Amino acid sequence: MLKGSFVALVTPMAADGSVDEAGWTALLDWHLDAGTSGVVVAGTTGESATVSEAEFAQLLSLAVERAAGRMTILAGTGSSSTAATVERTALAASLGADAALVVTPSYNRPSQRGLIAHYRTVADASAIPVVLYNVPARTAVDLLPETSLTLAEHPNIVAIKEAVADAERVAALVDGGLPVLSGDDPSCCERMLAGAQGVISVAANVIPAPFARLCELATTGQGDQARALNGRYDELYEFLGVEANPVPVKWLLNAMGRIGPGIRLPLVPLDERWHDRGAALVAALKEPVALN
């Protein structure tokens, strides 16, 4: 269930910030056709911080209706409140999500003991499997490998999305028996070649078929081919980091005609100084890539 290319799907929005339901289903269909293994609904790339509970239910229900049984559906249910995370995870389970992706609580910066208590409380209450999500650059708290492995003893905690691009860290998790999904696009190829079983990717939003193939190559140990394909996208990885995620990726998708221009405050559209570079990247991505 948790192997291959998972897309941290953006939430398409109209210029006024309203959720674009038709755009959402079109993105899901594109990823189904491209061979994407799974989708994260309302994760951090999907602007979870500004998505209401009703919108979360709308997006997840549409994803389940469209893709259940054909893609693994992860629901982003983490928040800074343990009680709110338990409630959102229960809602996700009731709507048919396959698993919950639970990011570490941000801003309140719990200790490692606090993180253990938080995740165990969520996992105890959850009717679906829980995937840990560590992204200290965004949350200001680091779920250390030894803490993750302690949490992995819980039968309902099944994997981790690890966004720290550190080979030794990922190796420790893999060696400890915890399935790893890379959360860092630039290093995901090497992490998969070293034992991670997939990636939850921002870049997959714009190159779903190449990313599905990259994951297939890397998770089956075809290092030379995987590295060659991965190397084609260094400029994309760099561009996706010029401003806070998901600002650059939503701009690219809009330029590609895949979604509207909407993004919600406090995020604002991509600064004009990046537009020419982005347009050149979109043109380059139109060139066919041999995936066999």
Residue 125 lies in a domain: yes
Query: What's the number of CA atoms in the CB half-sphere (13 Å) around residue 171?
Result: 6
Tokens 């570079």 correspond to 277
Residue 268 lies in a domain: no
Q: Nearest 5°: CA angle at 77, between 187 and 66?
A: 85
The predicted model gives 67-86 an average pLDDT of: 97
Helix (H, G, I), strand (E, B) or coil at 162: strand
**Single-letter amino acid code for the residue at 52:** S
Nearest Cα neighbor of 4 from 235, 246, 224, 180 is 180
Residue 112 lies in a domain: yes
Residue 238 lies in a domain: no
Mean pLDDT over all residues of the chain? 97
pLDDT tens per residue across span 102-144: 999 999 999 999 999 999 999 999 999 999 999 999 999 999 9
Task: Single out the catalytic residue among 3, 119, 133, 250.
Answer: 133
Task: Round the CA-based radius of gyration of the chain to a whole number and report it.
Answer: 18
Q: Beta strands of the chain (E only): which ranges?
A: 4-8, 38-41, 72-76, 99-103, 130-134, 157-162, 180-182, 198-201
The predicted model gives 229-245 an average pLDDT of: 97
- Predicted confidence band of residue 1 (pLDDT cuts 50, 70, 90): confident
Look up residue 139 and give its DSSP letter: H
The predicted structure's pLDDT at residue 287: 84
- Predicted confidence band of residue 288 (pLDDT cuts 50, 70, 90): confident
Residue 292 lies in a domain: no
| 233 catalytic per annotation | no
Tokens 């229900």 correspond to 61
Task: Single out the catalytic residue among 3, 119, 161, 250.
Answer: 161
Nearest Cα neighbor of 4 from 159, 155, 112, 135 is 159
- Rounded CA gap, 146 and 278, in Å? 40
For residue 163, give the CATH number of its domain.
Answer: 3.20.20.70
Residue 26 lies in a domain: yes
Q: Cβ distance 204 to 233 under 8 Å?
A: no
**Single-letter amino acid code for the residue at 17:** G
Residue 72 has pLDDT above 80, yes or no: yes
- Rounded CA gap, 26 and 37, in Å? 16
The predicted model gives 196-218 an average pLDDT of: 98
pLDDT above 90 covers a percentage of the chain that reads 97
Q: How many domains does the chain have?
A: 1
The predicted structure's pLDDT at residue 289: 81
The predicted structure's pLDDT at residue 34: 97
| 107 catalytic per annotation | no
Residue 57 lies in a domain: yes
Phi first, then psi: what are they for 248, rounded to 5°?
-65, -40
- Rounded CA gap, 242 and 264, in Å? 18
Which residue segment(s) compose the domain that 140 sits in? 4-233
The total of other beta-carbon atoms located within 10 Å of residue 283's CB is 10
Nearest Cα neighbor of 257 from 27, 2, 55, 78 is 27
Nearest Cα neighbor of 282 from 242, 260, 250 is 250
The predicted model gives 46-66 an average pLDDT of: 97
pLDDT above 70 covers a percentage of the chain that reads 100
Residue 142 lies in a domain: yes
